[in-house]
Amino acid sequence: MKALDELTFDNRFARLGDAFSTHVLPEPLDAPRLVAASTAAMALLDLDPAVTETPVFAELFGGHKLWAEAEPRAMVYSGHQFGGYTPQLGDGRGLLLAEVYNAAGEHWDLHLKGAGQTPYSRMGDGRAVLRSSIREFLASEALHALGIPSSRALCVIGSDTPVWREKQERGAMVLRMAPSHIRFGHFEYFYYTKKPEQQALLAEHVLNLHYPECREQPEPYLAMFREIVERNAELIAKWQAYGFCHGVMNTDNMSILGITFDFGPFAFLDDFDAHFICNHSDHEGRYSFSNQVPIGQWNLSALAQALTPFISVDALKEALGLYLPLYQANYLDLMRRRLGLTTAEEDDQKLVERLLKLMQNSAVDYTLFFRRLGNESAALAVAKLRDDFVDMAGFDAWAELYKARVERDGDSSEEQRRERMHAVNPLYILRNYLAQNAITAAESGDYSEVRRLHEVLSKPFEEQPGMEQYAQRPPDWGKHLEISCSS
C-alpha cells in the first residue's frame, strides 16, 4: 500500500511533445473538500484507502498541489460532433496530470476534469460543476461494477468556487483514470490538419503501448483497427443489453481503447424505451438508445477515414464489416444470459425482440423485469410479471414460448437458475433520480448519499439488506429528468 507521495510516474504522452499537448497548470478550487472517493479505483494505484483522510488528498485533486514528477498537459484533438466535423477541440477543462504505474506494471492516466481554462477552452470557463462531477464519478464506477468497460474515477472534490451555468453553481473536479485518454478525435485531428509525421507518431504510440500484440501481425495497424472495431462492438452490445445511453457519442468522446468515456447527459433506462433520448439538447435523437448501434459504426468509419494513410481502404472496409455481426453476436449472447438460457437456438433473437416490444408498449422497468424473472422458476416468474403488461394476452403468448424454450434449454434447479440469472441481472443501477437525490444532498453540503449510492452500486448483483429503496422504479418526479450538456 502506497502513500500519495510514493506513486511511480512515467509521462509517456507528455513526451510526445508540444504538437500533441500544451503544458497548463491546474487552477485551484476554493476550499477543496472530499465529496467521495473510490477505494476500488485507489487500489488500482496501490493507494492506501487512508490517504483520503489526509488534507493533501483534496489539495492534490482540487488543483492546489502537484507531484514534482507530474507534467500536466491539455491534449489537442478534434472530432465529429453530431455528425459535423469540428476542426479543433481539446481538453478545454481537463488536464492529463500524469501517468503512473502500479506494482502489477499497469499504467494509468490521471486526468483532472474541471481544472480550469486551457488553450482549447474556446468560450468555456474550464470548470465542471458539482452535479456533473458526481454523475461522472458514480457512472464510471457503476459501469465498471456491472462489467462494462469504462474509464474509472478516483474521487470527486467539491469547493466554494462559483461557476455560472443556467444559475450559479459550485465548481468541482473529478480525478478520472484510464489506461489512455486518446480518442478517435486525436487521429482525426492530425489527419485533417495534414500532419503525417505527428499522425505516424501517434499511431506508433497507441500501437506500442495499447495494442502491442498487434505488432506480431503481418499488418500491425490493420490488426489494431480490427481490435478497435471488435472492442467497440462488444462495448456497445453491453450498453444495449444493460440499458445504458451514453448521450453524446461524438468521435471526440470515443476512446481508442473501446471503453465508455467522457460522461455527459448519460442515463440508464428505467422503463424500456428503444427511442429514449437522454440528452435534451439532442433534438433529432441522433444518439437515442437504439441509434447507439449504427452510430458506433459511423464513428468507427470516421476513425477509419483518419487511418487511410496507414491502411488500404479495402482493408478498412472489410474490418468495418466485422462490427455489426460481432455486435449482434455479443448482444444476443448477453440477452440469452439475461433470460437464463445456457444454449443457443435460431429463434432466440426473435424471442428477445418480441419481449422488448412488449416491454416498450407497457413501459416495463428494464432492470427489475430481468431481476424478477430470475427470482424463481420460469413458470412462477412469468405468472407474477404478467401484471406489469398492458397487453396481457401478448405477454402470455411470449411467456409460453419462453417457458418452452427454458424447458428445451435443459435441466437446472430453481436455485441454479436464480444464481445464474442474478449474476448477470443487476438489482441496482444508477437511475437518474437516485443520482439526483445524491446531488441535491451534496449541493447542500451533505455527501453521505453520494457515498452510500456509490457503495450500493459497487455490488450491483448482490442483494444488500436495508438498501431496498435503491432497487425501486423512479417516483413520478424522477421519471423524466432533463439532463443537458451544460455541465
Q: Which residues bind ligand AMP (CB under 6 A)?
A: 89-93, 120-121, 124-127, 248, 253, 262, 264, 485
What is the closest distance, in whole angstroms, from the C-beta atom of residue 264 to ligand AMP in the complex? 5
Residue that is written with C-alpha cell 397487453 in the block: 391
What is the closest distance, in whole angstroms, from the C-beta atom of residue 252 to Mg ion in the complex? 5
Nearer to Mg ion, 32 or 94 (CB): 94
What is the closest distance, in whole angstroms, from the C-beta atom of residue 292 to ligand AMP in the complex? 16
Give the one entry of ligand AMP, Mg ion, none that residue 376 binds, where binding means its C-beta sits below a cut-off of 5 to 8 angstroms depending on kind.
none
Show the beta-strand stretches assigned E in 114-203. Answer: 128-129, 152-164, 168-178
What is the closest distance, in whole angstroms, from the C-beta atom of residue 259 to ligand AMP in the complex? 15
**Euclidean distance between CA atoms 253 and 258, whole angstroms:** 11
**Euclidean distance between CA atoms 81 and 260, whole angstroms:** 17
**Euclidean distance between CA atoms 131 and 486, whole angstroms:** 11
Cβ neighbours of residue 468 closer than 8 Å, sequence gap 6 or more:
none
**Euclidean distance between CA atoms 424 and 413, whole angstroms:** 17
Q: Which three three-digit cell numbers place residue 121?
A: 477552452
Residue closest to Mg ion when measured from CB atoms: 262
CA triplet 81, 27, 80: central angle to 5 degrees? 5
Among 78, 253, 291, 437, binds Mg ion (CB under 5 A): 253
Q: Which three three-digit cell numbers place residue 372?
A: 424478477
| Interaction of residue 279 with Mg ion, rule CB under 5 A | no
What is the closest distance, in whole angstroms, from the C-beta atom of residue 238 to ligand AMP in the complex? 21
What is the closest distance, in whole angstroms, from the C-beta atom of residue 184 to Mg ion in the complex? 11
Nearer to Mg ion, 79 or 340 (CB): 79
One-letter identity of residue 210: H
| Residues 286 and 295: beta-carbon distance below 8 Å | yes
Nearer to Mg ion, 253 or 297 (CB): 253
What is the closest distance, in whole angstroms, from the C-beta atom of residue 239 to Mg ion in the complex? 17
Cβ neighbours of residue 72 closer than 8 Å, sequence gap 6 or more:
23, 24, 25, 26, 66, 95, 96, 97, 98, 112, 115
Nearer to ligand AMP, 243 or 264 (CB): 264
Nearer to ligand AMP, 125 or 414 (CB): 125
DSSP letter for 194, please: T
Give the one entry of ligand AMP, Mg ion, none that residue 121 binds, where binding means its C-beta sits below a cut-off of 5 to 8 angstroms depending on kind.
ligand AMP
**Euclidean distance between CA atoms 209 and 224, whole angstroms:** 12
The distance of Cα 303 from the centroid of its chain, to the nearest Å, equals 19
| Interaction of residue 262 with Mg ion, rule CB under 5 A | yes
| Residues 377 and 402: beta-carbon distance below 8 Å | no
Give the one entry of Mg ion, ligand AMP, none that residue 55 binds, where binding means its C-beta sits below a cut-off of 5 to 8 angstroms depending on kind.
none
| Residues 425 and 337: beta-carbon distance below 8 Å | no
Give the count of residues interacting with Mg ion (CB under 5 A). 2
Nearer to ligand AMP, 375 or 484 (CB): 484
Give the one entry of ligand AMP, Mg ion, none that residue 27 binds, where binding means its C-beta sits below a cut-off of 5 to 8 angstroms depending on kind.
none
Nearer to ligand AMP, 90 or 426 (CB): 90
Give the one entry of Mg ion, ligand AMP, none that residue 89 binds, where binding means its C-beta sits below a cut-off of 5 to 8 angstroms depending on kind.
ligand AMP
Residue 103: exposed, middle, or buried by beta-carbon count in 10 A (0-12, 13-18, 19+)?
exposed
Q: Which of 18, 46, 125, 252 is catalytic?
A: 252
Residue 99: C-alpha distances to residues 22, 102, 103, 178, 410 (Å): 16, 10, 14, 10, 50
Residue 469: exposed, middle, or buried by beta-carbon count in 10 A (0-12, 13-18, 19+)?
exposed
Give the one entry of Mg ion, ligand AMP, none that residue 417 binds, where binding means its C-beta sits below a cut-off of 5 to 8 angstroms depending on kind.
none
Q: How many residues does the chain have?
A: 487
Give the one entry of Mg ion, ligand AMP, none that residue 125 binds, where binding means its C-beta sits below a cut-off of 5 to 8 angstroms depending on kind.
ligand AMP
What is the closest distance, in whole angstroms, from the C-beta atom of residue 299 to Mg ion in the complex? 13
SS3 at position 105: coil
Nearer to ligand AMP, 171 or 258 (CB): 171
| Interaction of residue 91 with Mg ion, rule CB under 5 A | no
Q: Is 282 among the residues known to form the active site?
A: no
Residue closest to ligand AMP when measured from CB atoms: 124
| Interaction of residue 21 with Mg ion, rule CB under 5 A | no
Binding site for Mg ion (CB under 5 A): 253, 262
Q: Which residues are catalytic?
A: 252
